[in-house]
Chain A
Amino acid sequence: MMENRIEIQSLTKTYQRNHALNDVSLSIGQGMFGLLGRNGAGKTTLLKILATLLPKNSGTVTVCGVPMERAKEVRRMVGYLPQDFSMYPGMTVYEAMDYLGVLSDLDGPTRMKRIPELLGRVNLQDNSKTKVKALSGGMRRRLGIAQAILHDPKVLIVDEPTAGLDPEERVRFRNLLCELAENRIVLLSTHIVGDIEASCEKIAILDEGKLLFTGQTSELIETAENKVFTVSVLQKDLQTLKDNYLVTGMHMQKGEVLVRLLADDTPPPNAVLCSPTIEDAYFFCMHKSGINKQLLGGELS
């Protein structure tokens, strides 16, 4: 039986002399796989190559044993939810699903059975006659997920699915993706660490087209063990702290600032050791790769 895996070997993609992807090798199996990185890291490029929307310059990619070059076969196995999904504005939700179902080579009876099921699953069953142009961002995103799995693909690729959603929507989306990951490969690209934390066992970190880390999330967290501290300082000492350490978070507390930071060698005086989170480990990994701490700030973008 063919194993559900995506195998990527030495993948390179260049745009106008810039490496969007530089010698990336990954092996992605069943379940949720997180792709983490800053904007411009190459995540979308990688996903689009897997969705056969972009050609590669070199390297090999196989999806469930099928090489990328057999694009039509790959497309039958892959469902893609692009960033900020949309469809022709004048179509209703049902019409959009039906049209995309036809493009996915599904026959009438299959579409008639699956579309209502999927709309129910993403809670759009009451909006089947709503036009795409009238949908809110969250509803369009849900329609996007529904159309991505309409043809029951073995691989689901989602590009930044929770960006811009309110907290309730975000949680619902993550839960849905987890359910879908039970019997398929779900490749989730995001710059929101919370998405990874909630659902991914395995992750990869990309930056400027290079793979900085791939492995279990627990392994990533281990790399930041004994490196994460919290310390309370006066406002006036904050800048000195920032100059000497990688600050990953701070909040005001009775006139003082409680700072969370990463320290490779000597921590600041009175610092308290903490257990690292994925976010800490991510920052640590980026910092180790030479990214200027000023660029990391408290956010990943």
Chain B
Amino acid sequence: MYISAFKKIRTITVSNLRHNFLPHLILSVLLLMTPFVFGTANVDVKTAAIPLEMFVSLIGIILITPVFLPEQQENIRDAVESKATSPVGVYVIRIGISLLTMLSLITIFVCYLKGNGCAVNLTEAVYGTFSGGVFLGALGLLAYSLSRVITVGYMVPIVYYMLNLFGAKIFFGNLYLFSMSSGSMKEKHWLFATGLILIAFALLIRSKAVRLH
């Protein structure tokens, strides 16, 4: 009578992909189909990093920030979270879907750059862009879990991005978003690790938020 763990994860994954994830995926793909604005042909490593850091990593906001959004109406949340399966488990599956999708899209884009004659190191470029995306998305996810207003969820990472764009690099230290275009990868490790920690915090708040009201 009871479902196996594997089948459960598979069914939850497929269901969420079909019903909750598709619009965000389409939006991310559309966003990435605008490389014409950037120099994506025959550029060096640092120049290639510009579209990756400044543009591609933004899909982290689109894919990660709305992970809790399907349950924004309390009645839906109550129906789903009163079941035997822990809601956090479902959120983890969704985050996994988002991260894998992000990784895939970034890899495709970097391969496109490489195919266009850009001098990019595949692993570094993918990792560097992915870290930025994870961090920005995690900021948004945490902001949403605290405020329960999706606009705030999108606003916070965009504000952080803007401050990085217009503020002095020195303010952000190891969490500066655009280090790859000046040849430094150290910040990417910080962004990635901090992003994962923020996601964990968001999950913790969300699981408690069910009880906070």
Contact = CB atoms under 8 A, between A and B. Distances in A.
Q: Do A and B have CB atoms closer than 8 angstroms in the complex?
A: yes
Interface string A96-119: 001110111111101000000000
A102 B84 contact: no
A86 B76 contact: yes
Contacts of B8: 102, 105
A139 to B, nearest CB: 15
A105 B85 contact: yes
Interface string A152-196: 000000000000000000000000000000000000000000000
B12 A102 contact: yes
A72 B82 contact: no
Chain A: number of interface residues, binned into ranges: 35 or more
A91 B19 contact: yes
B1 A53 contact: no
Nearest to A82: B78
B3 A53 contact: no
* Ranked 8 nearest A-B pairs via Cβ: A103-B83, A82-B78, A80-B82, A103-B85, A107-B3, A55-B211, A51-B82, A75-B84
B151 interface: no
A53 B12 contact: no
A74 B109 CA distance: 48
Chain B: number of interface residues, binned into ranges: 20 to 34
Contact of B1 (A72, A98, A106): A106
B169 to A, nearest CB: 42
Nearest to B70: A88
Interface of B: 1-4, 7-8, 11-12, 15, 19-20, 70, 73-76, 78-86, 90, 210-211, 213
Contact of B85 (A80, A87, A95, A104): A104
B84 A103 contact: yes
A85 B78 CA distance: 8
B78 A87 contact: no
B73 A75 contact: no
B148 to A, nearest CB: 16
Given A80-B78, A103-B12, A108-B3, 19 more contacts: A51-B78, A52-B82, A53-B211, A72-B86, A76-B84, A80-B79, A82-B74, A82-B78, A86-B73, A86-B76, A87-B76, A88-B70, A88-B76, A91-B15, A95-B19, A102-B8, A105-B8, A105-B84, A151-B84
Interface string A63-78: 0000000001001101
B75 A86 contact: yes
| Most chain B Cβ neighbours within 10 Å, of A52, A72, A99 | A99
Q: Is the interface of B mostly helix, strand, loop or mixed?
A: helix
A55 B213 CA distance: 11
Interface of A: 15, 48, 51-55, 72, 75-76, 78, 80, 82-88, 90-91, 95, 98-100, 102-108, 110, 144, 147, 151
Contacts of A52: 82
Nearest to B1: A110
A100 B76 CA distance: 11
A161 to B, nearest CB: 13
Given A88-B70, A102-B8, A107-B2, A53 B81 contact: yes
B15 A85 contact: no
A100 B79 contact: yes
A48 B78 contact: yes
B63 to A, nearest CB: 18
Nearest to A144: B79
Contacts of B211: 53-55
A100 B75 contact: no
A271 B74 CA distance: 49
A106 B2 contact: yes
